[in-house]
Structure 1
Amino acid sequence: MKSKLWNMLPHEYAPFFRILHIIVAFLILSQIINSNLTDAEALTDHSLEGIITWIHVVSGLGLIVCGFLMLIWMLSQRGFSYYFAWVKLDFDGIKQDIKTLMNYRLPDAHSGGIASTIQGLGVLALLSVALSGGLWFLLNTLQSNLAYSVMHWHKFLTTFIEIYFYAHGAMGLLHLFIQQYKSRSAAIDD
């Protein structure tokens, strides 16, 4: 069962990226769960709230590293235009995918398409949230007055990574169910 599930996961051609993807997903889920149990004032406490806050900080710093590893790997494998064609005002891939969706078919991932654009935006959302959290931690440690403002930006940007996390996860599960359905249909037809 475990190997069957492993083989159903995307990015079978790149085990490093597959594992990095899973690590990032678990770290983000951890951040979402423990974020409501953190308190900046608890960083100096030896309490459960202090421990949870430190777990949030350390895993957030880990997400900065993982986010940059993911971005570097993506860019080295497929290049900037694959994920960020919209920056160059190239929307042809998105238009092509919309036409495919209008025909009640799911488009394949390709350069400048919806899937690649969303993946690029997801990594940018991840990095913006993680970096703003890291900046807050640095400013808070330095007792800067800017820490409070950066914390508000961090919380605001978190909205985007949470939306991405849930939507991306739902689409991933839908993909797995469609793949499972197709493989069962093919087995029945044989």
Structure 2
Amino acid sequence: MLGTTVQLIAAPFIAFLPDGNVSHIGYHFVATWLHMLNGLVLLGVTIFFSYDVIKRKGLEWLYPYAFGKFAEIKDDFKTLFQIRLKVSDLKKVDKETRPFIILEQMQLPRLRPRGLGAVVQGLGLIIQLLLTTLGFFFFVCWLQNLDISWDILAAHRIVAIPFVLFYFGHGGMGILHIFNQHAQQRMKKVREDATGETTGTESCDLPNE
């Protein structure tokens, strides 16, 4: 995660001169070499990490569609589109409590073999392996001053687009899961602290009686 974050930060500042050399301007020079050298490290890390994940979980866990198994993926998509919360319910509670109720009622699929989360992880491994491999071949060909290096760089940049989408999408879903769990714990405490009849929609600042 740290390695890929560095790559994303440095990428906009990468610059080459018309003759193919790295720009001599300070921040361009640092960003370009940092991106290339860090990319070489990431290639090794990605290969090791991918091998470790596949060894522990197996190909079927991450790529069930390759084995003709879609049941868990379909169930997870159905879960995502389930809506339990009614708009009328939100009008009955104060504004402070509404975000917790919305987050609590979200239907997020749990991480499981052959599920949507596992499939997303598997696709992420493929994208990062392809991206770092293309970066490696560009670096090697660039050192040899080969014209094909710029074609490889173009392919590298194309693959970087789905990688950026995956980076923010996968990270965003992870953060959403954390907020969902926090909201469930918060609303559970509200229900435990509230006295008398309760629907779980009382203010999170209810005093204990």
- TM-score after normalising by structure 2: 0.73
Deviation for aligned residue 1:98: 2.0
Separation in structure 1 between the aligned mates of residue 29 and residue 152 of structure 2, nearest angstrom: 20
Give the 3-state SS of the residue equivalent to 1:43 in structure 2: coil
Q: Which moved more, 1:152-161 or 1:29-38?
A: 29-38
1:61 aligns with 2:40: yes
Greater relative CO, 1 or 2 (CA 8 Å, sep 6+)? 2
Alpha carbons 2:134, 2:156 under 8 Å: kept: yes
- TM-score after normalising by structure 1: 0.80
Counterpart position of 2:11: 35
Deviation for aligned residue 1:42: 4.7
Separation in structure 1 between the aligned mates of residue 164 and residue 23 of structure 2, nearest angstrom: 28
Deviation for aligned residue 1:174: 0.8
Separation in structure 2 between the aligned mates of residue 115 and residue 75 of structure 1, nearest angstrom: 15
Letter in 2 for 1:92: A
Match among 88, 97, 102 for residue 76 of structure 2: 97
Separation in structure 2 between the aligned mates of residue 169 and residue 107 of structure 1, nearest angstrom: 15
Deviation for aligned residue 1:99: 2.7
Counterparts of 1:104-115 in structure 2 under 5 Å?
Answer: 104=83, 105-115=107-117
Match among 143, 146, 149 for residue 148 of structure 2: 146
Alpha carbons 2:127, 2:159 under 8 Å: kept: yes
- Percent identity (aligned): 22
Separation in structure 2 between the aligned mates of residue 85 and residue 132 of structure 1, nearest angstrom: 26
Deviation for aligned residue 1:186: 2.5
Separation in structure 1 between the aligned mates of residue 68 and residue 144 of structure 2, nearest angstrom: 41
Deviation for aligned residue 1:43: 3.5
Alpha carbons 1:93, 1:112 under 8 Å: kept: yes
Deviation for aligned residue 1:171: 0.8
- Change in CA separation of 1:102 and 1:136 when aligned onto 2, cut-off 3 Å: same
Separation in structure 2 between the aligned mates of residue 44 and residue 162 of structure 1, nearest angstrom: 25
Separation in structure 2 between the aligned mates of residue 179 and residue 143 of structure 1, nearest angstrom: 53
Separation in structure 1 between the aligned mates of residue 149 and residue 179 of structure 2, nearest angstrom: 44
Q: CA RMSD in A?
A: 1.8
Alpha carbons 1:42, 1:53 under 8 Å: kept: no
Deviation for aligned residue 1:45: 4.3
Counterpart position of 1:3: none
Alpha carbons 1:61, 1:134 under 8 Å: kept: yes
Counterparts of 1:173-184 in structure 2 under 5 Å?
Answer: 173-184=175-186
Deviation for aligned residue 1:185: 2.1
**1:74-128 CA deviation, whole Å, 9 max, x = no partner?**
1122111000111223222211212333434322122221110001001111111
Structure ID, larger Rg: 2
Listed as ranges, the gaps of 5+ residues in structure 2 are 84-106, 193-209
Letter in 1 for 2:6: S
**1:145-171 CA deviation, whole Å, 9 max, x = no partner?**
210110000000000110000111111
Separation in structure 1 between the aligned mates of residue 142 and residue 21 of structure 2, nearest angstrom: 12
Alpha carbons 1:42, 1:49 under 8 Å: kept: no
Greater helix proportion: 1
Counterpart position of 1:7: none
